[in-house]
Chain A
Amino acid sequence: MKNIPLLFFTSILLLIICNSSCKKTLVKEEGYIYTDSNRFAFSIPVPFEDYTNNELGYMVRKANPDIIFMAGIKEDTAKNGLVSVLKYPLKKKTKIEYAFYDELKKNMNYIGGHSIEQTITIDFGLLYEDNKYYRSKVTGYIDNSIARTDTNFKKFNNLYVCNIYFYFMKNDFDDNIYVLKIPTLLDENFDKNFALAKKIAKTVKFPEI
Chain B
Amino acid sequence: MKNYTKNITATPFKVLLALALISVLANTCKNTPGKSNNLIYADSNRVAFELPDLISEDNELKEINPYVVYAAYIKFNNDKRLFTLSKFSTDEEHIIEFDFVTLLLKDFTFGDIEVDAYALKDFGIYEKEGKEYRYKVSTISDSILQIDNAWLVSYYFMKNNKSKNLYEMKLMCSDVESVEPLKAKLEGIVKTVEFPEK
Contacts and interface: CB of A to CB of B under 8 A. Distances in A.
A binds B: yes
Interface of A: 97-98, 100-101, 104-105, 108, 110-111, 122-126, 128, 133, 149-153
Interface of B: 92, 94-95, 97-98, 101-102, 105-106, 109-110, 115, 119-125
A189 to B, nearest CB: 20
B116 to A, nearest CB: 10
B192 to A, nearest CB: 23
A110 B121 contact: yes
B101 A151 contact: no
A126 B98 contact: yes
8 contacts: A97-B125, A101-B123, A104-B105, A110-B120, A110-B121, A111-B122, A128-B98, A150-B115
Contacts of A97: 97, 125
B121 A101 contact: no
A98 B120 contact: no
Given A101-B124, A101-B125, A151-B109, A126 B102 contact: yes
B115 A128 contact: no
Most buried by B among A111, A122, A149, A151: A151
A149 B120 CA distance: 13
A149 B125 CA distance: 26
Contacts of B106: 123-125
Given A101-B123, A124-B106, A149 B115 contact: yes
Given A101-B125, A150-B115, A151-B115, A126 B120 contact: no
A181 to B, nearest CB: 20
A151 B121 CA distance: 14
A153 to B, nearest CB: 8
A125 B101 contact: yes
A98 B125 contact: yes
B92 to A, nearest CB: 8
B101 A152 contact: no
A106 to B, nearest CB: 13
Contacts of A151: 109-110, 115
